[in-house]
Amino acid sequence: MRWVLLGGHGMLGQDLQSVLAQAGEHFWALGSADCDIRVPGAVTHAVRDADVVVNCAAWTAVDKAEEHEGEAFMINAVGAHNVAVACAAAGVRLVHVSTDYVMPGDGDQPWPEDAPQAPASAYGRTKAAGEWAVRQASPDAYVVRTAWLYGAGGGNFVKTMLRLAGERDTLTVVADQVGQPTWTRDLAELIVRLVNSGAPGGYYHGTSSGSTSWHRFAQEIFTLSGLEARRVAPITTDQFPVPAPRPANSVLGHDAFDANGIEPIGPWNERLAAALPVVTRGT
Ligand SMILES: NC(=O)c1ccc[n+]([C@@H]2O[C@H](COP(=O)([O-])OP(=O)(O)OC[C@H]3O[C@@H](n4cnc5c(N)ncnc54)[C@H](OP(=O)(O)O)[C@@H]3O)[C@@H](O)[C@H]2O)c1
């Protein structure tokens, strides 16, 4: 199969490149300079010879989106629409990557794939609009929501914790938000399994299993790195104000993957142990 990766040099895009290369697949990874998804003609040109397109391109600066919602909307919603229209016209299968931020974030149960979207942040609104546009223009598309990503190819929580461990004796980390830390390499492999499965289009939740808080995630990073976990102290969301509201409950249910017999990613702590040597290599 011929794959085109839009936003293909970002954190997820880099791991998709590795996974596809290992699988011997043909792929083209395009950055924004190669294909700006805000430009319909550029997208039409980029996808014309593909069998599968994975749209990893996004405005991902969550806090900055609060003051730049229009710019974020142009990429996350209008850009996503352009990609879906071009894929539908060319008969290309689309995988569109989305986020837990489209969910309201309350409650204590995992969000099912069909839960109504109710984003609390500007970033979440733009991503929810993108999901809607993709499903309208390309009903066969896979919309893969993910969350709490970390990987070798970008800045992320794991790298930040290890950097701060070298700079400070103790750290404080939010303990009242829960989610599923997810390695971009695991997500890349899951996306390939999804496409190869031939499962029907729709919403899928691409995250590790289990759940944890940012605080316990940080403690696990410390423990696995031979550092003392008690150096990480818990605080509440109120004690760490940021511009964009964060979902307190980001846990995503995996019914759609289960129903289609697609092998899940696995428990977040086991995957973190496998990922750490790779993610921190060279840092
Ligand atoms: N990181 C997380 O924790 C997280 C959580 C949930 C969901 N997600 C979603 O997962 C996906 C991948 O995230 P990521 O962490 O890999 O993001 P990332 O590292 O920030 O990569 C995003 C890429 O989008 C590209 N891009 C930005 N504007 C573009 C445009 N106008 N046209 C084409 N490309 C453009 C950038 O390419 P250039 O560098 O070439 O400009 C960048 O490499 C996104 O949809 C994101 O919303 C991420």
Helix, strand, coil tally for the chain in percent (to 5): 45, 20, 40
- Does residue 131 register a pLDDT over 70? yes
Does residue 150 fall inside a structural domain?
A: yes
Residue 140 lies in a domain: yes
pLDDT digits (tens, 9 = 90+) for 181-227: 999 999 999 999 999 999 999 999 999 999 999 999 999 999 999 99
For residue 220, the model assigns a pLDDT of: 98
**Within a domain: residue 239?**
no
Q: What is the pLDDT of residue 213?
A: 98
CB crowding 243-255: b at 16 or more within 10 Å, else e:
ebbbbbbbbbbbe
Task: Give the mean model confidence (pLDDT) for residues 104-129.
Answer: 97
Cα of 171 from ligand 1 centre, angstroms: 28
Over residues 18-56, the pLDDT tens digits come to: 999 999 999 999 999 999 999 999 999 999 999 999 999
**Residue in the block written with tokens 């010879």:** 49
> Residue 165 domain-assigned?
no
**In ligand 1, which atom is closest to the CA atom of 145?**
7
Q: Mean of the pLDDT values across residues 129-137?
A: 98
Q: How far is the C-alpha of 123 from the C-alpha of 169, rounded, in Å?
A: 33
The residue count for the chain = 283
Query: Residue 281 — pLDDT band, cuts 50, 70, 90?
Result: confident
Q: Could you tell me which of 129, 113, 99 has the C-alpha nearest to residue 247?
A: 99
pLDDT for 43 equals 98
Mean pLDDT (the chain) is: 97
* Total domains present in the chain: 1
Provide the pLDDT for residue 282. Answer: 66
Q: Is 142 a catalytic residue?
A: no
Give the mean model confidence (pLDDT) for residues 265-280. Answer: 97
Token couple for 192: 């390939």
C-alpha 76 to ligand 1 mean position (Å): 9
The rounded distance, in Å, linking the Cα atoms of 138 and 140 is: 5
pLDDT tens for 67-81 read 999 999 999 999 999
Q: Domain of 33: which CATH number?
A: 3.40.50.720
Q: Which of 60, 95, 145, 149 to mutate to test the pocket of ligand 1 (most atoms within 8 A of CB)?
A: 60
Whether residue 97 is predicted with pLDDT greater than 90 in this model: the reply is: yes
Which residues are CB-contacts of 256 (< 8 A; sequence separation ≥ 6)? Answer: 113, 199, 202, 203, 204, 205
- Is position 243 within any domain? no
- Its domain, for residue 145, covers 2-155+182-207+253-266
- What is the per-residue pLDDT for 253? 98
Q: Does residue 27 sit within a domain?
A: yes
The confidence score (pLDDT) of residue 152 equals: 96
Sheet holding 26-30, edge to edge: 26-30, 2-6, 52-55, 93-99, 142-146, 202-205
55 falls within a domain: yes
The answer to whether residue 108 is domain-embedded is yes
